[in-house]
Structure 1
């Protein structure tokens, strides 16, 4: 198999059917999900390749969310909150006070940061907090 032929350390193999990926990309969300379920697919190849790339390089992503934008920021697994803030801007790292943190799944289940805060799912974390994959951060800092 292809996987055994390329089983070198720090490598991964992803197999995909480009035509199928193209067809799935052209379907709306519900039709694509049904088609994928019928085929026994859990995720598209692009997601698998990105996930494997992150795993191999030791990266994770945290998110920031504003009214107009949600953005993912790659950081090295094990990074502390001030270092993660520094990925956004060096001033955020220098003036780091604390981070408001909510897990991705908690935000999705509550529907908003306000509701997550109301239900006690929004945590205040300090300088020693290790950022987790999928954390949503609001960085509080001084200038």
Structure 2
């Protein structure tokens, strides 16, 4: 048969078959595990997987399990040199990083952060989620009693070096209930229950 994901269904048709829980309706990512010498350029089999995936409306990520194992043991500078020797100029385009990124895109997920004196933590949410719902991922009381979210982009926070410096530079924003959380936001939720 033909996988349901290959069919061009309208919204009504999707709703009518969704309850069936068909595996062939689920979005797909194909991970092509290759030798280290094929990581940068691929090979004939990777091209065949890409052709098949295109028919399935799926994405292909090239991975080398061997290289991933070796990368774990290396310091950041050594990693860069090692990948350069393999012909890889951008680590985010191959391997586990690319696979994770592809999965996030496929599932429409994003990450925001919370940070306190003892811990910084990443939280995964659906793209387009508003601040109260994002707070609810941490605890339902945060969503129920949401007042506002003090927010700064992670790049701004890193550039400024501290939350205090970011506040002094006017980069900290107070966001309300209608704020749509952005990828990489660092948030402190104010709530009252």
TM-score category, normalised to shorter length? over 0.9
Q: What CA deviation, in whole Å up to 9, does each residue of 1:34-61 have, x standing for no partner?
A: 3234433312511111110010011111
Pairwise CA RMSD: 1.3
The more displaced of 124-133 and 26-35 is 26-35
Give 1:22 shift: 1.2
Report the Cα distance in structure 1 between the residues aligned to 2:73 and 2:177, rounded to whole angstroms: 44
Q: What CA deviation, in whole Å up to 9, does each residue of 1:94-120 have, x standing for no partner?
A: 010000111011011011111111111
Q: TM-score, normalised by structure 1?
A: 0.93
Q: What CA deviation, in whole Å up to 9, does each residue of 1:40-90 have, x standing for no partner?
A: 331251111111001001111111111221111111111000000000000
1:81 lines up with 2:131 in the alignment: yes
Runs of 4+ in 1 over 6 A off after TM superposition: none
Report the Cα distance in structure 2 between the residues aligned to 1:94 and 1:37, rounded to whole angstroms: 50
Structure-2 residue corresponding to 1:120: 170
SS of residue paired to 2:182: coil
5+ residue gaps, structure 1, are none
Structure-2 residue corresponding to 1:68: 118
Give 1:93 shift: 0.3
5+ residue gaps, structure 2, are 1-46
Higher relative contact order (Cα pairs below 8 Å, separated by 6+ residues): 1
